[in-house]
Structure 1
């Protein structure tokens, strides 16, 4: 079974957590695109959605789903998003699509964070297969990069990428994260960092893994 088919299995399984007459938090990325498509099939049962990226917002509108902003809501029942890596503690690395800051903002509004992935995203140690993205204020790029080198990482500027917030991305390679919560806090304390792609302080509550044998749900 190919990766897209497994993503669709996970996305479809997430629909069981969508309650009628609620506003659904929606992340971004290829697996979430599958979820948005699935959400379109029950669009008449929900009030609408809050999107974590402009790209997701456009896809929701194409499905005929009303889009709200984070300032329109005080809380969300669920937030559904993918991950670039996820460990056994339901902690993640996100930001491959450069939407990490908005994803953290929407996730913080949700009572329940549902992470949908295929089997390739599971890791023992965060940072072992995927670079860690950091969103940085442009004028601080070189300064932040030096701090990241001092922490033992190999930062690379993601050329040609501007986030929805007008900032840039540094990807840290060769950076295994043994203490995700502590590292998430430490990186966020560097002047010029908007946020980093470790989702450990707000990890997933439910993980849905698309497999060739169907959806595996970890609660």
Structure 2
């Protein structure tokens, strides 16, 4: 038998991790699969609904064509939250990194809400997630896009969607495909190739590495 003793990291240590993690994501350029996808759909009438929070969507597609349903590490929010406001993470991260000693940020550099003084946290889905005006505007853009085209030919592309939150993309896409007369669903996933049987010929599934598939499709289109 063994006994393990652990301690909770201090706020300064937590933010040392977050600062480096967020800095990496902010500095990382748009990856090739995102660029390939943009190349393939840029001439189309499209909308991106994303559950990724890694800033790649913002680097690749215009804001008016996207909805970051789970938030993004681009922004911070008040942990309470006391206000309907998002804060650019970049200046906070730069300050923390500049003053970091070892693996702790200075206490005075821990991000604080300018309105109430409480801690700021990354604007990503958890039990304090701010579903404020920015979030509602993104959801409204998405819903309006679909509603205005419900009688047109629509292709719902479900790209590498996991099973953690099926109620955001997977199940709504199935439902809309079933209800809209000219809608079709295509899912691409490395771990499965089964289309929902209830959709019949309105749905297809491809088991493939998405990056390789998009690269091949772009090469064939150039």
Same fold (TM over 0.5): no
TM-score, normalised to structure 2, is 0.28
Structure possessing the higher relative contact order (Cα contacts under 8 Å, 6 or more residues apart)? 1
TM-score, normalised to structure 1, is 0.28
**Larger CA Rg, structure 1 vs 2:** 2
Between Structure 1 and Structure 2, the one with more strand by share is 1
